[in-house]
């Protein structure tokens, strides 16, 4: 089983990387870009997790290591 975790900054948290990307794209002629937010995608290959415990284990991983829940939000999907 695979879990795909998406982590990004919460609304209202400054994103200097996203601003730099949006500004650079604007200077390159992509005037339609009015903003950008940078995040990360983490793919986890899982095996040996008890049936029915997958989501609890992934949530625990996200909250303990993969996301800084003070400034970041996360979502995940399970793929078989």
In this prediction, residues 41-52 reach a mean pLDDT of 94
All structural domains of the chain, each given as residue ranges with its CATH number in brackets, are 2-79 (3.30.1280.10)
pLDDT digits (tens, 9 = 90+) for 60-76: 999 999 999 999 999 99
Quote the CA–CA distance of 30 and 51 in Å, as a whole number: 47
pLDDT digits (tens, 9 = 90+) for 3-41: 999 999 999 999 999 999 999 999 999 999 999 999 999
Overall pTM surpassing 0.95 (yes/no): no
Q: Which of 4, 27, 17, 21 is nearest to 78 (CA)?
A: 4
Quote the pLDDT of residue 70: 98
């Amino acid at each position: 089983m695979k879990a795909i975790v998406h982590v990004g900054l919460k609304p209202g948290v400054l994103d200097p990387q996203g601003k730099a990307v949006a500004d650079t794209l604007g200077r390159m002629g992509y005037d339609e870009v009015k903003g950008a937010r940078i995040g990360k995608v983490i793919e986890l290959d899982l095996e040996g997790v008890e049936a029915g415990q997958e989501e609890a284990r992934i949530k625990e991983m996200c909250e303990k290591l993969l996301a800084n829940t003070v400034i970041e939000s996360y979502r995940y999907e399970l793929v078989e």
